[in-house]
Chains A and B, each alone.
Chain A
Amino acid sequence: MQRIGVFVCHCGTNIAATVDVKAVAEAMKNEPGVVFSVDYQYMCSEAGQNLIQDTIKEQKLTGVVVCSCSPRMHEATFRKAAAKAGINSYMVEIANIREQCSWIHKDIMTATEKAIILARTAVAKVQLNAPLTPGESPVTKRALVIGGGIAGIQTALDIAEAGFDVDIVEKQPTIGGKMTQIDKTFPTLDCAACILTPKMVDCAQNEKIHIYAYSEVESVSGFVGNFTVKIKKKARYVDTTKCTGCGICTEKCPKKSVPNEFNLGMDNRRAIYIPFAQAVPKVATIDADNCNMLKNGKCGVCAKVCTAGAIDYKQQDEIIEEQYGAIVAATGYNPISLEKYDEFAYSQSKDVVTSLEFERLTNAAGPTSGQLLRPSDGKHPHTIVFVQCVGSRDTSGCGKEYCSKICCMYTAKHAMLTREKYPDTDVYVFYIDVRTPGKLFDEFYRRAVEQYGVHYIKGMVGKVAPRADGKLLVQASDLIANEQLHIEADMVVLAAAIEPDKSARSIATMLTASMDTNDFFTEAHPKLRPVESPTAGVFLSGVCQGPKDIPETVSQASAAAAKVIGLLSKDKLTCNPCVAHSDELMCNGCSACEKVCPYGAITYSDKEFRQPDRTVAIRRVASVNEAVCQGCGACTVACPSGAMDLKGFSNKQIMAEVDAICK
């Protein structure tokens, strides 16, 4: 029989205001096996922990139940405390009476009743707890960064700086991400390329960094410290070891009319291309969908002009398998599709552009060589209307409910730069609110209004109607002046909401990392563990976790790197002892568990068993590699015979908990 002590925490008033903690402690005194029950103001304080330790010694406790906050907060604290007092740390159970009780109930009666049930359930479980001893597993000292934008680049550089090998997987032919398409960066207006491309080059030249460009993650298995990742290197049809990046092929290729994704389709590239001059790696890529040679075997110009002999029309996708200790998701974002916002005439007029397209139109490497010209007729626009929150803060169901965070600042930047370069241009910005919380941000915005005379109008644009004479008739409301506005504009720029890259969901599934309803990765804790995913060994960098600007992305990228470095500098990790084990006498060898195990922890072997009739039978039975098992429990539900069970969460313990709840 266990000797169980129950400790009920007030958590100041967090619990005590809604749960009658004394009643809970009193009720637990009558539970079987409970020899001591008490309430205390802050169980996690030093005095609280001392109370647990002293009671373990005085009362000779064999099991401890702490009724407090979520086990995610303080389970480790209380386990350590119990271990110091001489009992196995896995003899401690937490009843979560804060997040799952006091915080979500208003009525003291019902909350107290529920807290008693939760406490009773934990007591029922601890009755069946057994001491567990954790093992150890080694750490592969190499990190994988998925995504080669500014977030992935910064994370990789910092990890490499600490002396660890790191690989970047980027699905585009070059690293650099969205930042390569941006012209200037707020709030200091440095040129994006000038500050980004040196970092790209650093990545390429760093011996510790390996770039898998034009590659995708195919599958991920394993667990923290020991991930196995398959990477698909897509065929470029160019031998990257031979290509010198001279670019002759990209000039001679006869297929001239492929929309150039780097300039968002506003000009054309060839079927063989290098995305931009500072691409890393600077090698050509053949776009198989548009190459005549690959499509029907007629052409071969690029192979003829290539002096390095780098063209290889027979190249195939290649799968590479690598081991990693840690994985960083840095999958980035895209502007949303504007097809549901037809009132802004994006699909009807070339002169209605997104903000990212506007970046290209003002960039020296863009389709207009940096001259701000209307896409429709190449004339200089004299009136430009910027519309903010297109698809952001949208509760109509068409767009995103969240704030995309970067649009207020880049719109202020666009407006300011337009006024500076073309003082004869009238610039209007329609906004719901202007949000500028950041260092030097509000000063920046005020400069746009006060110094550059940008017309900021609180209100939303209702409709953009293209007129036959090429003008765009913008109908809008000015909420402060309370009047309708009709503006004849030459261009309209839409600050489209941003959303996580579409690849993020499948990567999250491979990583078993969780996502929120908007497909942003979720953090292990929104405040205290913001760069870790709840899945051990998986870290988050950049917009894949939530909208953020470049300064914030870079800080988060370095934070994620710090977490990775902390992990990789360990030689061994303590394993979770709550792992599966197979009862060989029950196992019928069906392999159901082996098939569902995401970690490959289960193997089968033929073993001899003495039968009741004294004969010996050879049976195929499962065994679990405890160093590989992560205790997910998939096998325990797949097993038709009930032979698989999880230590610390046995079927019996769970049934005892259910019985305690239903009592």
Chain B
Amino acid sequence: MQEQTVKRALELLADGTVNRVLGWKTGEFAYDTTPAVFTSAEEVEKSFIYNDFCGPNLSKYLIKESRKEGKILVFLKPCDTYSFNQLCKEHRLIRENIYVIGVPCTGKVSAEKIKSSGIKGITGMESDGENVTVHTLYGDSTVKKSDAMGAKCSTCKSKKHVAFDELIGEDGEVNNDNARFEMVEKLEAMSADERYEFWRGELSKCIRCNACRNVCPACSCENCVFDNPESGIQQRAAVNSFEENMFHLIRAFHVAGRCTDCGECSRVCPQNIPLHLLNRKYIKDINEFYGDYQAGADLDTRPPLNAYTFDDCEPSIVYKKGGNE
């Protein structure tokens, strides 16, 4: 895969189709990849990578990049193309300045997941697609890849690219098994008090670093309400535990109906808060109230929360389903 992606990047740079390439390069650690813009063939040859560690969703970077001079090549995994579509739908990208190559994905390895299984002192990692070899200060160990994937990938929603100019490899299928809602169902089954305890336990870990907001492709406002002195709620997350909860809940509400469930919020959270569960709860509710809807699956359907149809369920039903008592 690495060879094919590099080959196409070099070709497109050489024939002038694009003048930049948006992809991944190795970060601080071998397993810690980071998004990068490459402006020359040399840079691509030197540091472009595409492997089982390339988790980051590159779509959001295109908001700024597509407004620059010339066309940019971007590599998108299947789930990233949903974010890409959603951004196009919201007129946040200048599509004609972007050349999309869809790359296949069999799930990305999460270093956090591996660390959480008790492996310490990691110095490097390699994946052969089946197993991940983890090099540590204390010697090597092997983990099955399926056990090394984060929440985002272990319940992958789709292997199908919904937007691309060309594809490398074969396209996959949409996964409709709804396994991604299992944890949401568990939370729904809890009593209100238990659920509150669960979320207080998670959200109290928040250090207000804003990584979730900054990485989220749906959080692309010119001026975020949490930064806007006019909004009356700016910089409140650190005030007390109520505001801390509300920061995350308001953020989830703001992206409701637009969140494609790309899972970046949880992936980047340095405190490992399962923020994606809030979004999945809204997605599940929207599906149940208004029929299945996948944000970013296409460019034309109206999101249920921004559309009215005669067969929309009545507000009383929303209330009944939503109320615990």
Contact = CB atoms under 8 A, between A and B. Distances in A.
A640 B225 CA distance: 9
A618 B302 CA distance: 26
B310 A642 contact: no
Interface in A607-646: 617-620, 638, 640-643
B310 A586 contact: no
A535 to B, nearest CB: 16
How many residues of A sit at the interface, in one of the four size bands? Answer: 20 to 34
Nearest to B254: A640
Nearest to B220: A588
Given A585-B223, A588-B220, A595-B306, 12 more contacts: A585-B222, A586-B221, A587-B222, A589-B90, A591-B90, A596-B306, A617-B67, A619-B222, A642-B228, A642-B231, A652-B230, A655-B232
Contact of B225 (A591, A641, A652): A641
A641 B8 CA distance: 38
Nearest to B255: A640
Interface centre among B90, B255, B302 (most CB of A within 10 A): B90
A506 B310 contact: yes
Contact of B222 (A509, A604, A641, A652): A641
Interface centre among A591, A595, A641, A652 (most CB of B within 10 A): A641
Interface in B12-71: 67
A200 B116 CA distance: 82
B213 interface: no
24 contacts: A506-B310, A509-B310, A585-B223, A586-B221, A586-B222, A586-B228, A588-B90, A588-B221, A588-B222, A589-B90, A590-B91, A591-B90, A591-B91, A604-B91, A618-B67, A640-B221, A640-B258, A641-B221, A641-B222, A641-B225, A642-B228, A643-B222, A652-B230, A652-B232
How many residues of B sit at the interface, in one of the four size bands? Answer: 20 to 34
B231 to A, nearest CB: 6
Tell me the interface secondary structure of chain A in the complex: mixed
Contacts of B284: none
A585 B91 CA distance: 16
A595 B302 contact: yes
A42 B225 CA distance: 45
Nearest to A509: B310
B92 interface: yes
A303 interface: no
B176 to A, nearest CB: 27
A586 B223 contact: yes
Contacts of B254: 640
Given A590-B92, A591-B91, A595-B302, A641 B223 contact: yes
Interface of A: 506, 509, 585-592, 595-596, 604, 617-620, 638, 640-643, 652, 655
A604 B90 CA distance: 12
Interface string B290-325: 000000000000100011001000000000000000
A588 B92 contact: yes
Nearest to A659: B232
Contact of A590 (B90, B230, B302, B310): B90
Nearest to B218: A640
B92 A589 contact: yes
Contacts of A509: 310
A619 B307 CA distance: 25
Given A590-B91, A620-B91, A642 B225 contact: yes
Contacts of A586: 221-223, 228
A591 B91 CA distance: 8
Contacts of A590: 90-92
Give the 10 A-B residue pairs with the shortest CB-CB distance, closest first.
A590-B90, A641-B221, A588-B222, A589-B91, A588-B221, A586-B223, A642-B225, A640-B254, A620-B91, A595-B306
Contacts of B230: 642, 652
B234 to A, nearest CB: 11
Contacts of B306: 592, 595-596, 638
A128 to B, nearest CB: 12
A617 B64 CA distance: 10
Interface string B84-95: 000000111000
A590 B63 CA distance: 12
